[in-house]
Amino acid sequence: MIPESLRHELQQRVAQAVTPREAAVDVLKELQAHYGWLSDEAVVEAAAILGLTPLQVEELATFYEMIYRRPVGRTVVHVCDSISCWAMGGETLLSQLEQRLGIMAGGTTADGALTLLPCSCLGNCGDGPALMVSEQLHGPVTLDSALKILGRF
């Protein structure tokens, strides 16, 4: 169940859209922010708010990179693995992070705090290697500065 205030807010968003579907990605992102990930329950909630079936929501949810259909940690660490960051040592950074956090790419730390996800180009190419943590771009980062950002230094 989601708080009535959130449901109301999302219903408003849908009402303002040209079509309910236009608001679908916004609704998914908001529900993801609420649940931490887009849980099965969130899919059903989204469907009800959007007037779609859960399948129709799932079709969208499984298309996008930043919609998580599996549980993630409280903070998701996106490590850019595209060309500019690769040229600047992104691969090394990722494997160092894996080692220091004790998880593989895609994994979540045992305390549920962090999930490490390689991702497509973050558009921070001039400052590679780059990270995105809590919607905030960082770069260029070293292992040390990355760990500082994550509060793990």
The footprint of other proteins (CB under 8 A) covers 18-26, 28-29, 43, 52-60, 62-67, 78, 81-84, 86-88, 119-128, 132, 135-137
Q: Are 117 and 77 in contact (CB under 8 A)?
A: yes
In angstroms, what is the minimal distance from the CB of 111 to other proteins? 26
User: Measured from the CB of residue 110, what is the shortest distance to other proteins in angstroms?
Assistant: 27
Nearer to other proteins, 115 or 124 (CB): 124
**Closer to other proteins by Cβ: residue 67 or 143:** 67
Q: Give the nearest distance from C-beta 42 to other proteins in angstroms.
A: 13
Tell me whether residue 101 or residue 132 sits nearer to other proteins (CB atom).
Answer: 132
Least distance from C-beta 29 to other proteins, angstroms?
Answer: 6
* Sequence-separated (6 or more) residues with CB below 8 Å from residue 27: 10, 13, 14, 46, 49, 50
Nearer to other proteins, 58 or 98 (CB): 58
DSSP 75-141: EEEEEE-SHHHHHTTHHHHHHHHHHHHT--TT-B-TTS-EEEEEES--S-GGG-S-EEETTEEE-S-
